[in-house]
Amino acid sequence: MALRVGVVGAGAIGLDHIRRLHSLIKGVEVVAVSDADPGKEAIVRTIVPSVHFTMSGGDLITRDDVDAVVIAAPGHTHADLVLTSLAHHKFVFCEKPLATDLTDAREILNREVAIGKRLLQLGFMRQFDERYLALKAIIGSGKIGDIGLLTMSHRNPSVPDWWTDELTVRDSFVHDIDVVRFLTGDEIASVHVRPAGRPSGRFDYADHLVFTVRTNDGLMANVELSVAMEYGYEVTCDVVGVSGVASLEGGSVVRWSSSGARHNGVESDWRERFGPAYDAELTSWVNSTLRGVATGPSSWDGFVAAHVAEAAYQSMVSGRETFVETVRRPEIYNV
């Protein structure tokens, strides 16, 4: 029997997920969609004509014909929707961030631990991206020796009108936090945030930020994060080891030369750059949910990202390096 899924949120990524669940991934049926904007119903029906549409995410989650939930609504709504899903013991895929508030992230962790098993997979899709997986494989092969430094860039061409400095940290930087943990296998000990370049005046803090991250084992990561790089969407990562360097380059994989110049296309946004990774992460979620288990990035990864993001926000406010207290990982997350 197909997994009957309800999708909360029919915005940009929500519609993408509805399309891939309906048309690409096997063993799953989109039976319900919710969005606070009733105007989204018509768009949703162009993808799944017979779907049940509601304006209430909570009503969707509690429906008897919804076996599992995909949360693709704005980040500040995630915590309540996840807690409702857990309260009804429904498997849930939640887009990042787990929560935009550390207290909410901790509450989700406590609820899942109280249930005694994982029910949530979190949308850290870079862990399913072929380039990041290849980078992790090179690190693990020992070809570049012990690693000591990551130099990363995360450039957004623009952000929505409602975006804030705080969301740059709590909703965007969380990807880079997870990448540092994913590639190094280490936990983050401190973070120091500084503004870079001349602000455009749109944000109180900055359009371009530099995060200096240190891990418990003494590795360092320098992360450049921008929210107004009009040329396109691009992420890069250089990993420096004692005997070599491994690089994840930006832009499209294929380069071309013409008219005396070399060219390399750059994706327009994160949905284009990470499309195959979203396909892979949701396919994995459907397959594991059909087996009755949650796999991949967890509430623990989401809690740690929120914990480090809180330290980064404190650093943004104080201008100083902020240390991250050590938190013991609950047993259910020890795979």
Residues near ligand ISE (CB under 6 A): 96, 156, 171-172, 175, 270
Task: Rank residues 30 and 72 by Cβ distance to ligand ISE and give the closer one.
Answer: 72
In angstroms, give the least distance from the CB of 175 to ligand ISE.
6
In angstroms, give the least distance from the CB of 114 to ligand ISE.
29
In angstroms, give the least distance from the CB of 270 to ligand ISE.
4
In angstroms, give the least distance from the CB of 163 to ligand ISE.
8
Query: Maximum CA pair distance of the chain?
Result: 63
Task: Rank residues 54 and 153 by Cβ distance to ligand ISE and give the closer one.
Answer: 153
Task: Rank residues 101 and 171 by Cβ distance to ligand ISE and give the closer one.
Answer: 171
**With the CA atoms of 290, 115, 94 and 175 taken in that order, what torsion angle do they form, in degrees rounded to the nearest 10?**
-120
CA separation for the pair 87, 80 (Å, rounded):
10
**How crowded is the C-beta side of 25, counted as CA atoms within 13 Å?**
28
> Are 188 and 181 a contacting pair, CB within 8 Å?
yes
Integer-rounded Cα radius of gyration of the chain = 20
Residue 217 structure tokens: 């084992």
Task: Rank residues 96 and 131 by Cβ distance to ligand ISE and give the closer one.
Answer: 96
In angstroms, give the least distance from the CB of 235 to ligand ISE.
7
In angstroms, give the least distance from the CB of 267 to ligand ISE.
11
Q: What is the DSSP letter of 328?
A: P
In angstroms, give the least distance from the CB of 160 to ligand ISE.
9
Task: Rank residues 57 and 75 by Cβ distance to ligand ISE and give the closer one.
Answer: 75
Task: Rank residues 3 and 305 by Cβ distance to ligand ISE and give the closer one.
Answer: 305
3-state secondary structure of 33: strand
Burial 65-74 (b: 16+ CB within 10 A, else e): ebbbbbbbbb
Residue 5 structure tokens: 């899924």
Q: What is the DSSP letter of 96?
A: S
Task: Rank residues 175 and 208 by Cβ distance to ligand ISE and give the closer one.
Answer: 175
Of 280, 283, 281, 286, the C-alpha closest to 91 is 286
> Are 135 and 106 a contacting pair, CB within 8 Å?
no
